Amino acid sequence: MKLLVLSASTGGGHNMRAYALRDWWREKGGDCEVYQPLENTFWGYKLGCQFYNFIQKKMPFLHYGYFNFLELASLHRNPGIIFGSKKFLKKTKEFSPDLIVSVHAHLNHGYFKLSQTIENKIIPYVVYCGELADGNGFSRHWVNPDVDLFASPYQEGCIAAEKRGMPSSKCLVAGPLLRKPFYAQDRSFDRLNILNKYGLHA
């Protein structure tokens, strides 16, 4: 079974989750590719991602304004105005996935609709939202009631999606999506070892 994971470089966490999913899928015997439509289909979107990362690192005071601009601009909700859509469709057709999973908020509307235009194949579309709970950083673009499934690490994320119109029947608490080494036991991080190392008391 072939999986296409849609991601973007903004923030870092999206790619972390994308590659964790890819590793797990391949370990289970499936075929998987990670693809970044924003960076690989149109230079303007790539610049936007780079600018977002620059703000995160160097000018975090601008983050709230840029985030809200993207919320209102809705640059990727309408498939008819997505630049580079032909490249996205070409990539999707060539790989011919059995399932698409998006791990980025801006890939859940217009790109979903584009994927549904591929002839002779209905591709299930899943959104994995890495937001842990509701708040200012929870983009409305995460929620598309038309996709097949909305997954979140914790119940709070599903509740936030339901408040924005996601049917509860399509919500899944999936747990955190992290690469395998994160789950490996490391005795050096034992609670008592930490307390003793820093002279703390329980």
Q: Any idea what DSSP says for residue 31?
A: E
Question: In the predicted model, what is the mean pLDDT of residues 124-147?
Answer: 93
Q: Answer yes or no: is 84 within a domain.
A: yes
Question: In the predicted model, what is the mean pLDDT of residues 162-187?
Answer: 84
Please give the pLDDT value at position 146.
97
Question: In the predicted model, what is the mean pLDDT of residues 120-127?
Answer: 92
Please answer whether residues 93 and 115 qualify as being in contact, where contact means their C-beta atoms are separated by less than 8 angstroms: no
- 38-88 pLDDT, tens digit per residue, is 999 999 999 999 999 999 899 989 988 999 999 999 999 999 999 999 999
Cα separation, 4 vs 33, in Å, equals: 5
Domain with 111, as residue range(s), is 2-197
Q: Answer yes or no: is 88 within a domain.
A: yes
HSE, side-chain direction, 13 A CA sphere, residue 32 = 21
- Closest to 11 measured CA to CA, from 126, 147, 109, 106: 106
The rounded radius of gyration (Å) of the Cα atoms in the chain is 19
Q: Answer yes or no: is 202 within a domain.
A: no
Which tokens belong to 94?
């060539």
CATH of the domain at 173: 3.40.50
Cα separation, 172 vs 151, in Å, equals: 5
Kindly tell me if the per-residue pLDDT of 24 is higher than 90.
yes
For residue 149, the SS3 value is strand
Please give the pLDDT value at position 182.
67
Please answer whether residues 101 and 1 qualify as being in contact, where contact means their C-beta atoms are separated by less than 8 angstroms: no
Q: pLDDT: is 143 or 136 the higher one?
A: 143
Q: Any idea what DSSP says for residue 170?
A: G
Q: Answer yes or no: is 28 within a domain.
A: yes
Which tokens belong to 90?
């070409």
Q: What are the phi and psi torsion angles at 135 (to 5°)?
A: 155, -175
Mean pLDDT of the chain: 91
Number of domains within the chain: 1
For residue 198, the SS3 value is coil
DSSP E strand stretches across the chain:
2-6, 31-35, 99-102, 125-128, 149-152, 171-173
Beta partners for residue 172, in sequence order: 151
Q: What are the phi and psi torsion angles at 89 (to 5°)?
A: -65, -40
Q: Answer yes or no: is 70 within a domain.
A: yes
